[in-house]
Amino acid sequence: MVRYQQADARATTMLIEQLSPQLYRFFAAQLGNADNAQDMLQDAWLRIHRVRHTYRPGEPVLPWVYAIARRVRVDNYRKRRRIAMRELVVETLPEPAVPTSEATDLPPFDKLIADLPASQREVLTLLKVNGLSLEEVACATSSSVGSVKQKAHRAYERLRSVLQLSRAGKGTEV
């Protein structure tokens, strides 16, 4: 382990070859799933590598490694549980929504936002097309979250009025 801390490639290989089977069994025994056990083994080695400087020479290696492995297992359990709580189990997949005539009458997004000021176009594109959060858009545009909200609100208001005018115009044509 000391040689591994000093970036000795042979020591790294030896350590991985000696400990990986034990760690894999540790993870597989808890889960009973080979794929998850393999993923956790990889996570464990990443963490061991990241925190290798915390190992104190002269101390036993296995308790230090298993303490890290235990944390990996707990974190993996929490992650799987969070995902399972949010997933919906359904017998069959829902059919895709059939577009209504109103939805198909809309111009493409690029044309809709073409008349907006550049800053509003940028904010809407980052929010709606790229799926960024308000904080991420603020960081990307070097502005505050409040400024992003204001630009988005003004853009929405402008688009709403343009769409209402186009629908009103179509209503009079019919």
- Average pLDDT value for residue range 38-61: 88
Render pLDDT for 92-130 as a digit per residue (tens, 0 to 9).
877 777 666 555 567 777 788 888 898 998 998 888 888
Cα gap 163→101, rounded to integer Å: 14
Assess whether pLDDT exceeds 50 at residue 173: no
pTM of the model: 0.47
Which range is most confident: 15-19, 95-99, 143-147? Answer: 143-147
Count of positions (residues) in the chain: 174
- Kindly list the structural domains of the chain, giving each domain's residue range(s) and its CATH number in brackets, ordered by start: 2-86 (1.10.1740.10), 101-173 (1.10.10.10)
Q: What is the pLDDT of residue 165?
A: 81
Judge residue 19's burial from the number of C-beta atoms within 10 Å of its C-beta, 0-12 exposed, 13-18 middle, 19 or more buried: buried
Supply the pLDDT for residue 100.
Answer: 60
Hunting for tokens 């990443």 — which residue is that? 46
